[in-house]
Structure 1
């Protein structure tokens, strides 16, 4: 009994947290996200739930508004971005800590307590945990998401859309870049670490997520946008001399760009050489491009088995993904630089944004 009383007393001294959820057309997933916050193992009086809606045309606003003690911010940007919603959310609150969530996530009940305890170190500016996919068995792409969301526990250099951040760190950094349509979380991470804060990855579940990526077209679109994000973020941090995401962008340009260059060399060969010469030249050129594209990822199967605890078959699948994903990412990088030249950045359209489910609701 005495232990239970002491635990209650400790809980009462926990700081308040602003839980900021962002979404656009998130009616399918929003309610369960909000309910997971209300059910977490944290003093209810210390929980502030804020839903920042980016201009939904479905019933997202009504769903959030029907739940008690949820503050709804109706935003109507012409081109919504995650940064617009997250900034509006945290700036409308006053709690010393802000937990950001995407509307297609479910918060783990124990996470707020664990994250707040990790914030005892005054130099810690942000804390993240594992994001696990709810239905990795539904598609290869869901499985990839489950594999790639997370990093090793300990101090790290970036976080994703689900993270607990100290309000002081947000105020000092200025918050999210509202123009970015990809890479906004790592970009803020970089600025927070530049201000002297630490980012911690805890060995604990933070959220469960439903990527709901069931089609190849979704995967290609997401990879394209990730390439765009690499370029957009590097364009911001590169002038400072930082190498943040520099190697990732360089790898995409060398492997993806090299493959396409070798492929394109076949076109003038067909005009300048005879049939036999053209065939030989194209075989050599395409072989060189293919080796550049696939090396060394396809030779790291054993490493992937060890690092990600995969069997050989799944490690091979992951190696193929790592090799081929650079192609749509390359086009995303090209889109960024072409858009910057013509002052036509990639922009979100509200009617194209929505959260889905990997499995139909009963």
Structure 2
């Protein structure tokens, strides 16, 4: 670790704040990258203590040119055949030397006070990672952005994982080896678990960390994101299960039981209807079997609206919308789970195509 330890009295008195390597990753992120860099530099933390690195995953737009317009920004132009978040993040933190590393997606905006608040929590030597709240810039622009704003965050206090925006000790990265570069989803929670097993705590503080524009406006985008999240659930759960960890066990079981049970019931209903001679009995049997799968899939909408109202402080209308999401999302997630296991058997994991990766805005900024 850096010779100046974070628990030094000079840090506690605010006379000598630690340096921070800010690692931004992106592919085709020209629309948002400049805004992210400017948010880092315009905050209250001393700019001379912040070192910015942009790790580009093989952009075909003006992303690299945008980054080079800013003096002092270190640019790593990576050209992997199949880019992953872990590749960029590892290249970024390994190119620096600061005792703290802030990872950011290039489509985020850092809160002006974030670094001061996060560093203050890092004075506890047991804390290896600090996270805050990620807030959507425009939840009103689409129901998908609104759902993202609900789901980005968890309760304040000790956490079992972090996401793409996190302040980490370099010590923790060196001890764990950093990110798994093969994962196209779930790479942040996967590293989180190794950080915890190495002896550190992850803390969520009561502070806004970043603002973000999910820029999701279509059903296709929603389904693709859910599919990839299902793939990530399966990939991380497989690793954790081998270690005897219960992490994401309940989430994985929910996808398997609700989504799998519904698909199984509907499939059996179709077999019952068409495998036998058409009759009133076969139709009734098919309908009964098909209806049996409905409560499995739609249990959030049928039984949990009140719970969502209380836990998320939502009105009944908003809670119903969120319940529909929680019901339907398991189907594309189940497809992602199936893709993970099929790929594991065939030796063909899911891979990113550079041409398909980009960041954007919900609508042009004015």
Q: TM-score, normalised by structure 1?
A: 0.96
Match of 1:4 in 2: none
**Cα distance in 2 for residues equivalent to 1:122 and 1:9:** 12
For 1:34, the equivalent position in structure 2 comes to: 37
Unaligned runs of 5+ in 2: 1-10
SS in 2 for 1:170: helix
- Alignment of 1:45 onto 2:44: no
Name the SS for the 2:45 alignment partner. coil
Among 273, 283, 286, the residue aligned to 1:282: 286
The alpha-carbon deviation at position 159 of structure 1 amounts to 0.6
CA apart distance, 1:278: 2.6
- The structural deviation recorded for 1:186 is 0.4
| 2:59 alignment partner in structure 1 | 56
Other structure's SS at 2:31 match: coil
The secondary structure found in structure 2 opposite 1:29 is helix
Within the candidate set 162, 166, 169, 2:165 is matched to: 162
Is 1:106 aligned to residue 109 of structure 2? yes
Structure 1, 261-270 or 14-23: larger mean CA deviation: 261-270
In the TM superposition, structure 1's runs of 4+ consecutive aligned residues that sit over 6 Å from their partners are none
- The 3-state SS of whatever aligns with 1:14 is coil
1:153 aligns with 2:160: no
| Contact 2:300–2:326 (8 Å) recurs in 1 | no
User: Which residue, out of 296, 304, 307, partners 1:303?
Assistant: 307
Q: Which residue of 2 aligns with 1:292?
A: 296
Is 1:315–2:337 an aligned residue pair? no
CA–CA distance in structure 2, aligned partners of residues 42 and 174 of structure 1: 28
Coordinate RMSD, CA, aligned: 1.5
Q: Which residue of 2 aligns with 1:5?
A: none
Summarize deviations over 1:170-217 as a string: whole Å, max 9, x none: 111110000000000000001101111000001100000000000000
Mapped contact 2:269–2:287 kept (Cα < 8 A): no
Distance 1:167 1:9 in 2: 19
Structure 1 unaligned blocks of 5 or more:
1-7
What is the alpha-carbon distance in structure 2 between the residues aligned to residue 37 and residue 15 of structure 1?
15
Query: How far did residue 292 of structure 1 move?
Result: 1.3
Residue 217 (1) aligns with residue 217 (2): no
Deviation at 1:118, TM superposition (A): 0.4
CA distance in 1, matches of 2:181, 2:336: 19
* Matching residue of 1:263: 266
